Structure 1
Amino acid sequence: MQLALFDLDNTLLAGDSDFEWGQFLISQGVLDRELHLARNLQFYEDYKAGTLDIHAFLEFQLKPLSMHARSQLDAWHDLYMEQKVRPMMTDKARALIEKHKANGDLMVIITATNSFVTNPIAREYGVEHLIGTVPEEVGGEFTGRVSGVPSFKEGKVTRLNQWLAERGQKLEDFETTWFYSDSHNDLPLMKMVQQPVAVDPDPQLKAYAEENGWPIMSLR
């Protein structure tokens, strides 16, 4: 069996679902534009620079989930998918997924973005398995806190190993392992697979990929 791992934001998507969720809530009047826009932009810049404080970001990003009923959040998410996400889903990304599906590979989207935002996106792409940062729930409603290890940087390695262990597997069991990502934040996991692929990479990842002879591709 072979394992294909995909980052989501700026890899399978031509944009960032986490950032766009915040922008969507601002556009709907759910979040105050003046209070939230600058912080949303700053967190996004920190992420690109590799300096993101993941816990501070998650406190900021998950709080709105705790302030509204799940039914309302689901309704907003349907509109968000239509307005923000589907325009970021590229034909080349779909073709890559279909290529691995046709090969019978085990496919996983692994993302730092929380699973409330990303589960419907994974389903839209036809990828059964998602490893994302998990927002804590009590009685079906979100608390605004994180459950477990955030799926970010080294946390992606931890979460993948946990997920495989639950299946009675480990990374070494697979004949071939791929990980497609755009971000230098994903280097801890990219270094662990047999076939790391830089997808529309940021400058830091592009330089590392060129230095180490990794393939570079575009899904745009």
Structure 2
Amino acid sequence: MPDVNTNSAEAVSTTALHQGEAAFFDVDNTLMQGASLFHVARKMYQKRAFTLSDAAGFAWKQAKFILRGENMSDVHSIQDSAQKLAAGISADFIRQLGEEVYDEMIVSKIWPGTRALTQEHLKSGRQVWLVTATPVEVAGVIAQRLHLTGALGTVAEIEDGMYTGRLVGEILHGPAKGRAVQELAEKEGLDLSRSWAYSDSFNDIPLLTAVGNPVAINPDAKLRKYARDNNWPVYDFRSGRRAATLGLQAATGAGVVYGLWKGIAMVRRR
């Protein structure tokens, strides 16, 4: 009697079972610590695409983002600033910059626990998509490097190979994420009632409620309460979170700004 590889048979069976399903992951504070767009801005500063004061503004918003979680006004402020600063820059430059940002900054910020979840979904035969307000070029690099199915991100307008400083559609944030996932599901033939979604932010309730299996990862206070009230799973992959929070709260506003400014100045000197 020939040998039968039962593990392979089970893998094939499991893959077939989950076809037509997907898992959707937010990026900032869900897949990685902090805001990916901040690292894009930092790299653009290193390449002299804008000034030190611009970089300091991004750094201050990044510090607030890590401390208190996602804030709609800060997200839109960062995105608007980045779009204006990118006007006149070539699309090829941004794609190359996305590769450098991933290798030098983002890869070390990825939460191992969240990455493991993406791989488990892939092994089960589900599509795995990133859904983020981050520029689609950068989101695409992250998805490619992690061997995910693809990425949905904010799309900037390009004319003659150059960014115009305007968006195509809207920032992929809040309700826009829910609509984008529904459109993707129609295109890919996905059953959202059997799919999964992961986020850290209460602002992503439209994404989380679009699927049958919502999960909170590293949640802000409002999402943690909402998840608890609705019996959603909650994963927290942050280590030393309480100590870091208390340390930041103990620092004066002036001290934080000074530290950020000195850090960026060191980058400039290098």
2:233 matched to 1:215?
Answer: yes
Counterpart-to-counterpart distance in 2, 1:54 and 1:204: 17
Aligned to 1:187: 205
Q: 1:31 aligns with which of 27, 34, 50?
A: 50
Q: Which 5+ residue runs of structure 2 have no aligned equivalent?
A: 1-19, 239-270
Counterpart-to-counterpart distance in 2, 1:190 and 1:91: 21
Residues 146-204 of structure 1: per-residue CA shift (max 9 Å, x gap): 1123211001111222222333x36xx34612111111110122123211111011121
Counterpart-to-counterpart distance in 2, 1:183 and 1:208: 10
Q: 2:194 aligns with which of 148, 173, 176?
A: 176
The 1:114–1:93 alpha-carbon spacing in structure 2 relative to 1, beyond 3 Å, is same
Aligned to 2:21: 2
The 1:130–1:59 alpha-carbon spacing in structure 2 relative to 1, beyond 3 Å, is same
2:44 matched to 1:21?
Answer: no
The within-5 A match list for 1:137-156 is 137-156=158-177
Aligned to 2:155: 134
| Structure whose CA Rg is larger | 2
Percent identity reads 26
Kept after mapping to 2: 8 A contact 1:109/1:122: yes
Kept after mapping to 1: 8 A contact 2:199/2:219: yes
Residues 34-53 of structure 1: per-residue CA shift (max 9 Å, x gap): 13422563488489464427
The within-5 A match list for 1:51-90 is 51-52=72-73, 56-90=77-111
Q: Give the RMSD, CA atoms, in angstroms.
A: 2.5
The CA deviation at 1:138 is 1.8
2:137 matched to 1:116?
Answer: yes
Residues 89-138 of structure 1: per-residue CA shift (max 9 Å, x gap): 23323321111011101221111111022110111111122111111112
Match of 2:203, as an amino acid?
A: N
> Please, which moves more after superposition, 73-82 or 119-128?
73-82
Higher-RCO chain (CA-CA 8 Å, sequence separation at least 6): 1
Counterpart-to-counterpart distance in 2, 1:72 and 1:28: 11
3-state DSSP class of the match of 1:8?
coil
3-state DSSP class of the match of 2:142?
helix
**Larger strand proportion of the pair:** 1
The 1:114–1:31 alpha-carbon spacing in structure 2 relative to 1, beyond 3 Å, is same
Match of 1:203, as an amino acid?
A: A
Q: Which 5+ residue runs of structure 1 have no aligned equivalent?
A: none
The 1:136–1:44 alpha-carbon spacing in structure 2 relative to 1, beyond 3 Å, is farther
Kept after mapping to 2: 8 A contact 1:12/1:219: no
2:121 matched to 1:103?
Answer: no
Aligned to 1:12: 31
The CA deviation at 1:6 is 0.8
The CA deviation at 1:26 is 2.7
Counterpart-to-counterpart distance in 1, 2:150 and 2:92: 24
Match of 1:209, as an amino acid?
A: A
Kept after mapping to 1: 8 A contact 2:192/2:211: no
